[in-house]
């Protein structure tokens, strides 16, 4: 059993409230053994390298002199990478940790594996940990793959006898071919990952920590690794798995934690967690779109990325979406009807117009839905007099998956096809999940599944 507890920096108030434990045994819950217990965990870093080196030297001197100091206070340029993190892992659980870049996922795994000490709080571990936190972590670049198997295996707690007994299985799992006796510095990143993962899983860990490594390597190895992790779960081991691949998280994990700016904002069932995480990231993307709009407005008094205009007949004033009550919105549900609108001014009398409205992806601006008013002679807009107008397009069923989208619009001459005004906008809107759909594909449809034996 390993236990990482900061001794001097523990907040006395936390002791009083019994939020931190100094027990050597982990309590059990619901008859299941708890193999990791994290309580009141804090970790800070410094944004300035010079200040970080100064703080480090200063803290070492104070430790040597026996001068107590409060680690739970931020100094200049410091920030909390993890703040008041609490969770437990039971035997047999596979816990997924997801979050945006910089949310503290990798830092948390490094604290659990003992690479970093906590600034406040405790991590209690019951069992042996196998960590695969970075590509080729623990490898000596000038030693061969064979030598690194013995080196890395020893670091993970295996005896020389254990390594020899499992050597062939490790080599077979890693599938590095004729490179076994070549220096690791000559390996590709995929080969280093395969070798590192093979050693980690053959160290027979009670708890396996995996940090975003299954995105490297070919499909065959990724599938082999996922199968092995599923086998570990069936053997009642514990796994903590970090990945941006929500499909892998959804299938592999019993439970999910969402980290945001160093804090846990969700801890619960996997599917609901994946949906909430995608809703959160969609909100971030929509905020980015809105910031682009505000930046464009302040800089040029326009909110369009690009405007192509003849400048004589038409001027588009505003575009966006509304609900069925014509209230301007930027979020809709998957099953909700909505309107696309375009407010424009005709600067002179015009014989006839037709309109195109395009819904594009906010990531790459690829067109997903393309609407044309005069396709199959759907609608005629003739004899447009000089003045201001608003065109409304009602979409009863949009079938868009939960994501963030952007609107483009164009107004053209009905007879000649010439373009009067064409807008590539930053006007974004978000489709919210109904609690079941993840962000997959382009459209959400209702389908039936049937297995037929032939």
Beta-carbon contacts of 233 under 8 Å, excluding residues fewer than 6 positions away, are: 92, 94, 239, 252, 254
Q: For 242-256, what is the mean pLDDT?
A: 85
pLDDT of 364 reads 81
pLDDT of 316 reads 92
For residues 272 and 315, state if they share a domain. no
* Angstrom distance (rounded) from CA 94 to CA 229: 9
Q: Do 134 and 110 touch, CB atoms closer than 8 A? A: no
**The 3-state secondary structure of 121-137, one letter per residue:** EEEEECCCEEEECCCCC
pLDDT of 36 reads 93
Q: Is the pLDDT of residue 449 over 60?
A: yes
Domain harbouring 230, CATH code: 3.40.50.300
**Between residues 7 and 261, which one has the greater pLDDT?**
261
For residues 248 and 327, state if they share a domain. no
pLDDT tens digits, residue range 350-403? 989 999 999 998 888 888 999 999 887 678 899 999 999 999 999 998 889 888
Half-sphere exposure of residue 417: CA atoms within 13 angstroms, side-chain side = 2
Q: Is the pLDDT of residue 342 over 90?
A: yes
Longest CA pairwise span in the chain (Å)? 91
For residues 265 and 310, state if they share a domain. no
114 lies in a domain? yes
Residues forming beta bridges with residue 257, ordered by sequence position = 97, 267
Q: For 214-239, what is the mean pLDDT?
A: 74
pLDDT of 215 reads 62
Residue 19 in tokens? 């939020």
- Nearest-CA neighbor of 428 among 356, 369, 363, 372? 363
Q: Is the pLDDT of residue 277 over 80?
A: yes
Range of weakest confidence among 229-238, 247-256, 410-419, 422-431: 229-238
In which band, very low, low, confident or very high, does the pLDDT at 292 lie, cut at 50, 70 and 90?
low
Q: At what angle do helices 189-202 and 145-155 cross, to 10 degrees?
A: 40
Residues forming beta bridges with residue 4, ordered by sequence position = 123
Q: Say how many C-beta atoms besides its own lie within 10 A of residue 17's C-beta.
A: 10
Strand 350-361 versus strand 403-413 pairing type: antiparallel
For residues 119 and 255, state if they share a domain. yes
85 lies in a domain? yes
Domain harbouring 349, CATH code: 2.70.50.60
Range of weakest confidence among 68-82, 258-272, 327-341: 68-82
Q: Is the pLDDT of residue 4 over 70?
A: no
326 lies in a domain? yes
pTM: 0.69
238 lies in a domain? yes
* Angstrom distance (rounded) from CA 291 to CA 404: 14
Q: Is the pLDDT of residue 125 over 60?
A: yes
**Between residues 40 and 1, which one has the greater pLDDT?**
40
Residue where a domain terminates, one of 248, 280, 312: 280
For residues 311 and 236, state if they share a domain. no
For residues 321 and 257, state if they share a domain. no
Domain count for the chain: 2
Exposure b/e, 173-197, CB count within 10 A at least 16 = b: bbebeebeeebbeebeeebbbbbbb
Q: Is the pLDDT of residue 435 over 90?
A: no
For residues 413 and 273, state if they share a domain. no
- Nearest-CA neighbor of 144 among 202, 183, 91? 183
- Nearest-CA neighbor of 195 among 139, 131, 114? 139
- Nearest-CA neighbor of 304 among 292, 313, 322? 292
Q: For 56-60, what is the mean pLDDT?
A: 78
**Between residues 154 and 303, which one has the greater pLDDT?**
154
251 lies in a domain? yes
pLDDT of 28 reads 39
For residues 242 and 386, state if they share a domain. no
76 lies in a domain? yes
* Angstrom distance (rounded) from CA 110 to CA 94: 18
pLDDT of 50 reads 80
For residues 93 and 223, state if they share a domain. yes
> Is residue 445 packed enough to be buried (19+ CB in 10 Å), middle (13-18) or exposed (0-12)?
exposed
pLDDT of 13 reads 42
Q: For 47-68, what is the mean pLDDT?
A: 79
Strand order in the sheet with 34-46: 2-5, 120-125, 34-46, 78-90
Half-sphere exposure of residue 27: CA atoms within 13 angstroms, side-chain side = 8
For residues 315 and 389, state if they share a domain. yes
**Between residues 350 and 72, which one has the greater pLDDT?**
350
Q: For 21-49, what is the mean pLDDT?
A: 69
292 lies in a domain? no
In which band, very low, low, confident or very high, does the pLDDT at 263 lie, cut at 50, 70 and 90?
very high
pLDDT of 10 reads 38
Residue 446 in tokens? 């209702």
Residue 453 in tokens? 């034996």
pLDDT of 216 reads 59
Q: For 147-171, what is the mean pLDDT?
A: 89
423 lies in a domain? yes
Domain range for residue 16? Answer: 2-127+206-280
For residues 324 and 400, state if they share a domain. yes
Share of the chain residues as helix, strand and coil, in percent rounded to the nearest 5: 30, 35, 35
Q: For 62-77, what is the mean pLDDT?
A: 77
Output phi, psi for 176, to 5 deg. -100, 10
pLDDT tens digits, residue range 173-222? 888 878 999 999 898 878 888 888 888 888 888 888 888 766 656 667 77
For residues 77 and 121, state if they share a domain. yes
In which band, very low, low, confident or very high, does the pLDDT at 280 lie, cut at 50, 70 and 90?
confident
Q: Say how many C-beta atoms besides its own lie within 10 A of residue 114's C-beta.
A: 13
Residue where a domain terminates, one of 220, 246, 280: 280
């Amino acid at each position: 059993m390993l236990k990482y507890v900061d001794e001097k920096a523990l907040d006395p108030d936390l002791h009083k409230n019994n939020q931190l434990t100094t027990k050597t045994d982990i309590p059990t819950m619901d008859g299941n053994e708890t193999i990791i217990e994290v309580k009141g965990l804090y970790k800070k870093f410094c944004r300035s390298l010079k200040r970080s080196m100064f703080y480090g030297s200063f803290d070492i001197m104070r430790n040597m002199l026996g001068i107590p100091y409060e680690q739970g206070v931020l100094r200049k340029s410091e920030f909390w990478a993890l703040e008041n993190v609490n969770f437990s892992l039971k035997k047999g659980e596979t816990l997924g940790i997801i979050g945006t870049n910089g949310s503290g996922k990798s830092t948390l795994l490094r604290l659990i594996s003992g690479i970093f000490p906590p600034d406040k709080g405790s991590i209690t571990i019951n069992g042996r940990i196998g960590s695969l936190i970075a590509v080729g972590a623990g490898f000596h670049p000038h030693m061969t793959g064979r030598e690194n198997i013995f080196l890395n295996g020893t670091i993970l707690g295996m005896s020389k006898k254990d390594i020899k007994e499992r050597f062939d299985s490790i080599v077979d799992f890693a599938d590095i071919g004729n490179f076994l006796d070549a220096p690791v510095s000559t390996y590709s990143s995929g080969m280093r990952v395969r070798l590192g993962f093979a050693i980690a899983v053959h160290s027979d860990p009670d708890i396996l920590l995996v940090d975003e490594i299954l995105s490297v390597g070919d499909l065959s190895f990724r599938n082999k690794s996922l199968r092995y992790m599923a086998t570990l779960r069936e053997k009642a081991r514990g796994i903590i798995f970090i990945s941006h691949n929500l499909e892998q998280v959804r299938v592999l994990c019993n439970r999910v934690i969402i980290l945001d700016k160093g804090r846990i904002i969700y801890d619960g069932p996997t599917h609901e967690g994946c949906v909430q995480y995608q809703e959160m990231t969609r909100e971030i993307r929509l905020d980015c779109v809105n910031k682009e709009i505000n930046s464009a407005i302040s800089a040029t008094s326009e909110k369009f990325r690009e405007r192509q205009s003849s400048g004589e007949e038409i001027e588009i004033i505003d575009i966006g979406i509304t609900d069925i009550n014509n209230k301007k919105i930027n979020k809709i549900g998957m099953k909700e009807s909505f309107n696309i609108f375009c407010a424009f001014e005709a600067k002179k009398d015009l014989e006839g117009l037709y309109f195109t409205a395009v819904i594009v992806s906010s990531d790459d601006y690829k067109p997903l839905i393309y609407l044309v008013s005069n396709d199959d002679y759907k609608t005629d807009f003739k004899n447009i007099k000089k003045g201001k107008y608003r065109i409304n397009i009602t979409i009863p069923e949009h079938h868009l998956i939960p994501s963030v989208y952007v609107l483009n619009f164009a107004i053209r001459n009905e007879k000649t096809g010439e373009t009067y005004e064409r807008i590539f906008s930053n006007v974004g809107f978000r489709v919210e999940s109904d609690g079941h759909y993840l962000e997959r594909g382009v459209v959400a449809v209702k389908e039936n599944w049937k297995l037929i034996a032939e």
